[in-house]
Structure 1
Amino acid sequence: MSLQESLFRGFANPVDPSPVELRAWAYQPDSVPLESMPQDWDLLVSGDQLITTMFDLAMDPSCPARRFALHCLYIYASDGIRRKFRAHPKRRLVKLLKQAERHGDELMTTWAHNTRVLMARPELFDYHQWCEGGLVRQARRLP
């Protein structure tokens, strides 16, 4: 257990956690269960400020909150694409996609593939799959 992990004692403000707090929580998610977080917490933490942290957590197969982080990546990607990148910069998403394609395992390369499919065909967006965790629970590559 790293120093960062052992020091987690909760969020100063769960609606606006810092990257350090989020990372520490991700390695001890049972200390503050998701069920106790504010409603739609996944949507709150899927923005530009925390997406790099979420990406790092999703890239770590040993992270206990990895699936949650991956879920947030799906939310972030679909939000940017559906809003024609007015919500999030396209360059940031493309940079994350390239990293996932180069260094990610199957879960991450599947996320990158699915995101590229949605970029090419935004009409394939399905709220349940992208924003409610469907593509995380039933990992599959979109055609």
Structure 2
Amino acid sequence: MSAQDSTFHGFANPVDPSPAELRAWAYHPDSVPLTSMPQDWDLLVSGNRLVATLFDLAMDPACPARRFALHCLYIYAADGIRTTFRAHPKRRFWKLVERAERDGDDPMRAWAHNSRVLLAQPDVFVYRDWCEGGLVREHRRLP
């Protein structure tokens, strides 16, 4: 049975969800609305432990929480780049960027493009765009 078919019954610990819990929630996000999550939940889940799950969710156009997952990938990219990859392994980040470029649709290719732009020009970082969802909402590519 896949996450799409299962019913989501909540998080054991919403501050530290498991990859399986996050995946199940993403296909049934109305069962536990984001408004009921801890403050800054997007920042909490955007780390190394869940990035592969977030990436898979963002790659799935049929995932109801895809925009949330993509938003978390922007946080992950900005955090890694702005800490000179002290926060996240550079190799893992590059594998995700390359996979998005190769296999992703337009929103995922835009994330990869914007991540490359930020790496080359760290001064293009704007908190609202990268950490508050601006680039996802506006579906914008940086010049």
Distance 2:65 2:8 in 1: 14
- 2:45 is matched with 45
* Structure 1 stretches lacking a partner, 5+ long: none
What is the CA–CA distance in structure 1 between the aligned matches of 2:70 and 2:134, rounded to whole Å? Answer: 11
TM-score scaled to structure 2, two decimals? Answer: 0.97
Cα 1:62–1:122 change in 2 (3 A) is same
Shift of 1:3: 4.1
The answer to whether residue 95 in structure 2 is matched with residue 132 in structure 1 is no
Q: Distance in 2 between matches of 1:38 and 1:70?
A: 19
What is residue 62 of structure 2 aligned with on the other side? 62
1:105 aligns with 2:98: no
For structure 2, the residue ranges without an aligned partner over 5 or more in a row are none
- CA deviations on 1:19-66 (whole Å, 9 max, x unpaired) are 000000000000000000000000000000000000000000000000
The CA deviation at 1:8 is 1.6
Q: Deviations over 1:86-110 (max 9, x none)?
A: 0001101100000000000000000
TM-score scaled to structure 1, two decimals? 0.97
- Partner-residue secondary structure (3-state), 1:4: coil
Cα distance between partner residues in 2 of 1:48 and 1:132 = 19
Give 3-state SS (helix, strand or coil) of 2:3's partner.
Answer: helix
Per-residue deviation at 1:118? 0.2
**What SS does the corresponding residue of 2:94 show, helix, strand or coil?**
helix
* Alpha-carbon distance in structure 1 between the residues aligned to 2:3 and 2:109: 28
SS in 1 for 2:42: helix
Cα distance between partner residues in 2 of 1:24 and 1:141: 30
Instruction: Output aligned runs, 1:1-143, within 5 Å.
Output: 2-5=1-4, 6-143=6-143
C-alpha displacement at 1:79, in angstroms?
0.4
| Cα deviation, residue 140, structure 1 | 1.1
Structure 1 SS opposite 2:78: helix
RMSD in angstroms over aligned alpha carbons? Answer: 0.8
